Structure 1
Amino acid sequence: MNAEQPTAGRHVPVLRERCVSLLEPAIQASGSVVIDATLGMGGHSESMLKRFPGLHLIGIDRDEEALALSTERLAPFEDRIDLVHAVYDEIPDVLDDLGVDEVQGVLFDLGVSSLQLDERERGFAYSYDAPLDMRMDTSTGQTAADVVNNYPEPELRTIIRKWGEEKFAGRIASGIAAARAEQPITTTGRLVEVIRTVVPAGAARTGGHPAKRTFQALRIEVNEELNVLERAVPGAVDALALGGRMVVLSYHSLEDKIVKSVLSGRSQSSAPRGFPVELEEHKPELKRLVRGTEAPNEAEIEENPRAASAKLRAVERIKDRRAA
C-alpha cells in the first residue's frame, strides 16, 4: 500500500450510510455524544461529524497507527472529538475519565480493520509473507508467533477448533507442533506452508483458503477479541441514554452470537413465565431496530468486498438506564 495515500482513499467504511441513518434519530440534536468504539481510520466517524454539526464524538481504538491516521483525518473537527487509545471493553473507564455520564449513540465495527489487513508487516493476512504478529495494539501483549511456538499442542488444537471453527484443527495443531520442533515458526508464509501440508487439497474448493480459519483463531486469541466483546457490549448498552441507539457490525458467527445474546436478552421482558403483571423492573431495556440481522447489498459488496460477511444489528434504549 502507498503510505502517502490519503486515509479516506484507503478505507471504505462498511454499511456507512445505513449505520449513520440508524443512529441519526438519537445523535442529530446539538450536544449529543456518540462513541465510535472501533475508530479505525475514522470513516464512519467522519460521516457522522459532517452530517451532525452539534455532535461530539468519542473515538476509541487499541491500534496506535489507526489512531494517528484518524487523528489526521478528523483534524477539521478537533474541537468536537476525543480520541482515546483504549480497548472497547474500557468504555466505562473512558467515559469516566472524560466526565461523560451517558451517550446518545454507540457504533461497533468489529473484526480486523482494512489498515491491519493491508499493512503487510502486521501479519494478519495469509496472502503474503510477513512476521507472524497479529497484534491490534503493537505496543503490548503476545504475538501470534508466541502462541504458535509456545502453546502446548492440545491448547493449540482447542483454540483453532473453537475460535476458528476449523474441522481440521487436530491435523493443523499436530503439523505446527512437528514443524516448530525443527525450527520456530516466525512468518505467515511458513505457517501457511505448514497448514497446506496437513489440510486435504480438496478442502480449499469448498472452504476457501486452508489457512483462513487458523489465522482467524490466532488473531482472536492474540487480541482476546471475544472475551473483550463479552464485556464491551453490556458496558456500551449501560452507557446509553434513554432513546440512545447502538449499531454493531460483526463479521463472523462467534462475534454475532455474543452480540445477539446481549441485545436479544435485554430486548425481552424479564418477568417470570406466567407472571400476571409486568412490573417496571421486568420491562425490556432495548428495542430492536432491525429484524434479525441486515447484510450489505450486492452493490456495496462489489464496491467493498470486505463487507461481504458483515451482519448488522441495531437497538434503541427504551427504558431509563437508572431504572434498569
Structure 2
Amino acid sequence: MIADGETSASGQTARHVSVLLTQAIRLLAPEGDGIYVDATFGAGGYSRAILAIPGTQVIGIDRDRTAIAAGFDLVDRSDGRLELVEDRFSELAEVCRAQGRDAVDGVVMDIGVSSMQLDSAERGFSFRLDGPLDMRMGHDGPRAADVIAAAPAKDLARIITVLGEEKFARPVARAIVEARKEAPIATTRALADIVSRVVRQRPGEIHPATRTFQALRIFINEELDELQAALRGAEEILKPGGRLVVVSFHSLEDRIVKTFLAERSRTGGGSRHQPEVHHAPPSFKVLTKRPLVADDEEIAANPRARSAKLRAAERTDAPPQRSEGGELGLPSLDDVMRGA
C-alpha cells in the first residue's frame, strides 16, 4: 500500500514500481512450463518478471479496468502467455477455473493501492490532488463520499481507529458529522481540510489526513475481507509444491497473512503437562520465518517500499483447511449504507 504523498529523492511523486520484485520472484521460483497468478496485476511488474522466463503462463487479475486496459500491450507482446481478467482478487480460484486452470504453480499478490490510482485525481484516492471523493478500486459500489454521508459518528470513529490507526479518530469523526450538516463532503480537498483542522501536522510527520484516507479506502474496498478470501483461494488452487508470495504494506494486512500462514503450517503441539493438540495436516510450509523487507537502496529509489513486508510459503499435498477470517468489530459496508 503506497502512502499518499510519498516522494522520491528528486522530490517527485513516486511512480508505480513493483516492491520487493527480486525477492518475490526468487521465492515464487517460476519455471518454464508453469502457470502463475498475478492476483493484483496493477502495472504488471510481477507479470513481466514471470513472463521473462520462457514458457511461463500468467493469469493477471485486477478489479480496476483501467489497469486491465493498460495491460493489453503486454498481452499482445506475450505471445498468448498472459490472460487478463477484470475481477476481485478474492475470486482468484474461480477466475482460474473459468480460464480452464484447475491448479496453478504459483500466486503472487501485492496488497493495496497503486501509484497510478493515487496519481489520478478523478479516482479520489489522494488528498494531494483535489477530485471527487471516490476511492473505489473498481467501478461499482458506494464511494467514500457515500460512506462519509451515511455513517454515524461512532461507526466513522471505529473505522478510522481500526483501519487508519488514527489516535484522533473520535474528534475527526465528530468534525466530519458536523461539517456534513452544512454541506455534503464531496471532494478530497474538503475532507482533507476537515481532518487537518483536527489533526495538527508537526514537522517531519505524515499529512494529517493520511490515516483517515487510508481507513476509508480500506473500508469501502473491503480490502481485509478480500485479502482473507484471496489467501483461502490461493490455498485452494495451488498445486502441491506451488508457491504463495504476498507483499503487504499495512500492519493489519501483514497480521492477516502471518496468522493465515501460521495456522496453515501448524503441525500440532503439547507438552508433558498438557495433552497434544491435534491440528489438520499443514497445507503450507512457511518459507520466510521473518518477513522480508526492502533495503536502503530500494527505499531510496522507491519510497513506497518503506513499509513493505513479504511473506512466502509452499503448498503441501494436504487438503485445504476451512476457516473464517478474524473479527475486527467493524460495521459492514452494507450496514453503513443501509443506516443500520
Q: Structure 1: which 5+ runs fail to align?
A: 1-8
Report how far residue 150 of structure 1 moved.
1.6
Deviations 1:234-266 (A, max 9, x none): 111221111100110000101111111111111
Report how far residue 132 of structure 1 moved.
0.6
**Which amino acid letter does the alignment assign opposite residue 41 of structure 1?**
A
Report how far residue 283 of structure 1 moved.
3.5
Structure 2 counterpart of 1:14 = 19
Q: In 2 relative to 1, CA 182–317 (structure 1 residues): closer, same or farther, beyond 3 Å?
A: same
Q: Structure 2: which 5+ runs fail to align?
A: 1-13, 323-340
8 Å CA contact 1:271, 1:283 repeated in 2: no
Structure 1 counterpart of 2:222 = 224
Give the TM-score normalised by structure 1: 0.89
Structure 2 counterpart of 1:291 = 289
Alignment of 1:34 onto 2:36 = yes
Larger fraction in helix: 1
Q: How does 1:39-78 map to 2 (within 5 A)?
A: 39-50=41-52, 52-78=53-79
Report how far residue 270 of structure 1 moved.
4.2
Report how far residue 276 of structure 1 moved.
9.0
8 Å CA contact 2:283, 2:320 repeated in 1: no
Distance, in Å, in 2 between the alignment partners of 1:198 and 1:61 is 36
Deviations 1:102-159 (A, max 9, x none): 1110001000011111112111111221111100012x11101111112111111111
User: Residue 308 of structure 1: SS of its match in structure 2?
Assistant: helix
Report how far residue 290 of structure 1 moved.
1.5
Structure 1 counterpart of 2:308 = 310
8 Å CA contact 1:11, 1:43 repeated in 2: no
User: Residue 137 of structure 1: SS of its match in structure 2?
Assistant: coil
Report how far residue 174 of structure 1 moved.
0.3
Q: Percent identity?
A: 44
Report how far residue 291 of structure 1 moved.
2.0
Report how far residue 69 of structure 1 moved.
0.6
Q: Which has the higher contact order (CA 8 A, sep 6+)?
A: 2
Structure 2 counterpart of 1:163 = 163
Give the TM-score normalised by structure 2: 0.85
Q: In 2 relative to 1, CA 170–70 (structure 1 residues): closer, same or farther, beyond 3 Å?
A: same
Q: Alignment length, in residue pairs?
A: 308
Q: How does 1:1-324 map to 2 (within 5 A)?
A: 11-24=16-29, 27-30=30-33, 32-50=34-52, 52-138=53-139, 140-199=140-199, 201=200, 204-205=202-203, 207-270=205-268, 282-321=280-319
8 Å CA contact 1:242, 1:321 repeated in 2: no
The CA RMSD measured in Å over matched residues stands at 2.2
8 Å CA contact 2:35, 2:57 repeated in 1: yes
